[in-house]
Structure 1
Amino acid sequence: MELEDAAQELRAILGADGYVVCRINRFAPSKTQRVTVVLSSVDRNMRRALSAIGEAIENHMERSLLPFAWTAAGHEAAVGTFVEPLPVKALDVPGVGFPVKLGIMGNGFALFFGSDLDLSGDRVVEIHRDIYRIMRELLALDVQRISPHQTLNDRELQCLQLAADGYKSEAIAEELTLSVHTVNAYLGFAATKLDSVNRIQAIAKAIRLGLIG
């Protein structure tokens, strides 16, 4: 896969032992479902590190778009001109992360694990730019994965848009001159087509795919 090759190339440039690219779904029903791994070449220790710092990464992204780094026992933190320390306890493996915020398209991040990462000069800026490109292409692939029979019809999109605007089923029914049962059916069909477990997830995915605003 081309995107996996691109991520592997970045891993080699940084001198990292492994990497992971994740998406964040802030509408997920639980914290454990908020982060989805989309590309990965990690071992057990790296997976454990990701699990331990997921909340800290989201907190970092609320206030900063700069890359971040964390330490491991016996290792120095990966530091560079544009890298901030992530306020977490030392983990099994050190590393550096690159946050990505793309508005309604979605948010995510990439982590590179290793004790001898090369973050010299403009390398951090270049890597961060490439991570943004990878994330945009991953989101574009999501759109392509919706097959013709899964395409949402006008009514489903209208119901989703109004639900995203904060309308309840009763208000949507009144706005579109439909029954509440029909509105709930449209929202249910939309959720199924978007491979979502409920309307909240369907709204989040529809926004990320650019189907609604």
Structure 2
Amino acid sequence: MLLQSGQADRADLFDDPDLAVWPVKDEWPNQSATTTSEAVRLMRKLAERINASGFSLFFCGAQGEARRLAPVLDDNFPGISLLSKALSHRGVESFARLAAESSVPLWWQRCDSRPFLSEAAACWAHEVESPARETLGIAFPVAQERGRHGLIVFSGEDMMLDENLLCDVHARCFSLFEDVSRQRVADCAKSPVVSRRELECLRLTADGLTSDDIAASLGLSVHTANQYLTNSTHKLNAVNRIHAVAKALRCGLID
């Protein structure tokens, strides 16, 4: 196990007095993110505190075997980062199901990398196979009370978390996820009318289908399927169809 082989390295790293626990409660701004831009700013601040170079927030898709992660925002906002694309790919559905069913952080590393969790922190998290090649990452499961489930992921070569920081970051992730989910209601009120066919095409895109797949599923030509996706992208003021899917999910237009 990687967890066992890295125990000595982890002990050396976290015995350093310069790596004292980050006083999150003293430095974290006492405010809610009322816009997506503010949520991105707060997530970037949180990422900086754990030396993460990237972050992504996902909504969990449909229940069961087809469960997927739908990217909502990340460090490349308003675009979509490579990490978000990798973790929302059809090929990582098993990780999406594991994340949706977990209540503890999930972390992964390369065999040649040092563990970035202290020994005590590792007891509160579960090590998994990397869902994205050549990355070190940690995923925090989040949810609203009796509402939507999601995942906030951080990645980077220089991350470092002890037990207290791990717990505090997870709590901050819950707060950020609540803010982003709440924005869905406000965004929905501002959204233009998206037709039933346009929503069907977006929903199938969220399930990982290509334009050819969507056309075949709905009995349309590929040109018509693409036109529906283009229309919905423009109506939602999105930069591409993946961004449109993310905005539609955030607005509750699709599940």
**After TM superposition, is the score higher than 0.5?**
yes
2:200 maps to what in 1? Answer: 197
CA distances 1:62-88 after superposition (whole Å, capped 9, x unpaired)? 542100101125213433242210134
Is it true that 1:13 corresponds to 2:16 in the alignment?
no
The 8 Å contact of residues 52 and 156 in structure 2, kept in 1 or not, is answered as yes
1:49–1:148: structure 2 CA closer, same or farther, 3 Å change rule? closer
Give the TM-score, by structure 1 length.
Answer: 0.61
Unaligned runs of 5+ in 1: 151-188, 202-207
User: Out of 145, 149, 154, which is 1:107 matched to?
Assistant: 149
User: Out of 165, 171, 188, which is 1:123 matched to?
Assistant: 165
User: Out of 111, 114, 135, which is 1:76 matched to?
Assistant: 114
CA distances 1:89-145 after superposition (whole Å, capped 9, x unpaired)? 782111111011335421110111112212113111111111111111111111011
Which amino acid is 2:112 matched to?
Answer: G
Q: Residues 99-178 of structure 1 correspond to what in structure 2 (within 5 A)?
A: 99-102=141-144, 104-147=146-189
Which amino acid is 1:110 matched to?
Answer: I
Indicate the SS of the match to 1:122.
helix
Indicate the SS of the match to 1:20.
strand
Question: Offset at 1:20?
Answer: 0.7
Larger RCO (alpha carbons 8 Å, 6+ apart): 2
Counterpart Cα distance in 2 of 1:54 and 1:23: 15
1:147–1:88: structure 2 CA closer, same or farther, 3 Å change rule? closer
1:2 maps to what in 2? Answer: 38
1:50 maps to what in 2? Answer: 87
The 8 Å contact of residues 16 and 112 in structure 1, kept in 2 or not, is answered as yes
1:98 maps to what in 2? Answer: 140
Which amino acid is 1:26 matched to?
Answer: A
Counterpart Cα distance in 2 of 1:90 and 1:72: 11
2:99 maps to what in 1? Answer: 61
2:70 maps to what in 1? Answer: 36
Counterpart Cα distance in 1 of 2:157 and 2:98: 22
The 8 Å contact of residues 73 and 90 in structure 1, kept in 2 or not, is answered as no
Matched residue count: 164
Counterpart Cα distance in 2 of 1:71 and 1:149: 40
The 8 Å contact of residues 52 and 155 in structure 2, kept in 1 or not, is answered as yes
Which amino acid is 1:57 matched to?
Answer: F
The 8 Å contact of residues 56 and 88 in structure 1, kept in 2 or not, is answered as no
